[in-house]
Structures are given as structure tokens and as C-alpha cells.
Amino acid sequence: MPAVDGWFTGEGDEFRLLGTRCAACTSVFFPREDAHCRNPGCAGGDLEEVPLSRRGRIWSYTDSRYRPPSPYVSDPELPWEPYALVAVELESERIVVLGQAVPGITVADLTVGMEVEVVPGVLGEDAETTWTTWHFRPTGGAA
């Protein structure tokens, strides 16, 4: 089950984040915008759903070393697993999207300018449901 419905689609090499593009000014938005153009210099136009670039370059990164407070959902009985957060400038759209790095990648593995790609990920799961999201994975391309 998607953690946020309508923000991504597909699987494997077909996995994409979904944004919207204003027909009047061509501004692209993620998270998606379905009501009006967010560009203050635009009178507005129709918004169309667009798949976003699969690749981009790391703009910034940090790590999460503590369990966040409520309403974040986590099992307090399990040990906290730190994870890397990555801000990525998407290749074509030139917008910055925030997401987690794939499990196993730490801040020691990342550099500003490193090429990454968006891939499906798991945000959390219980006995009945797996909540899916996106992660960023290094491609091996140089900065």
C-alpha cells in the first residue's frame, strides 16, 4: 500500500515519482499540486500529472540517528535503525526532492553531486500491510 497515494507509480525500472506540471508556465511540482499553480508569477493553467526523472544528483544529505516523536509510527520495542536522508536535484526538472537512501547506505557512502536514482522502498510494515515509498540509490556515476 502506498504511504501516500498518487505520489509514485510503477515497479522496478518503471518506478517513477509523480509530479504535476502547469500548462501555462511549465513549472513542475513535487509533491504534486492538483488545485492551482504554486508559481507566484503565473496566472495559472491546467495542471497535468507527469512522471519525474528517475535520476538526479545529491544536493545535500544528513542522517536520522534518533527515533522521532509522535505522530511518527515505530515500534518502541525494536531498536532504532538510523537512516540517511537525501535531498536530490532531479535531472530534467531541476527541482529538489527529499527521500531516504536505500537501506544499507549511510552518510559515509554519500557525497554532494553523486548520481542517484529513485527506486521503490518500504516505509514500514506490520502483519497485514506493507507501506511503500521511494528511496534513492547511488548509481555508481561520478559527481
- pLDDT (tens, 9 = 90+) of the chain, 143 residues, equals 888 899 999 988 899 999 999 999 999 999 999 999 999 999 988 999 999 999 999 999 999 988 877 777 777 888 888 899 999 999 999 999 999 999 999 999 999 999 999 999 988 788 898 889 999 999 986 55
Asked if 88 and 55 touch (Cβ cutoff 8 Å), the reply is no
- What nine digits make up the cell of 114? 553523486
Query: What DSSP character marks residue 96?
Result: E
Ramachandran sector of residue 134 (left: φ over 0; alpha: ψ -120 to 50; beta: rest) = beta
Measure the CA–CA gap between 15 and 98, rounded to whole angstroms. Answer: 16
How much is the pTM? 0.88
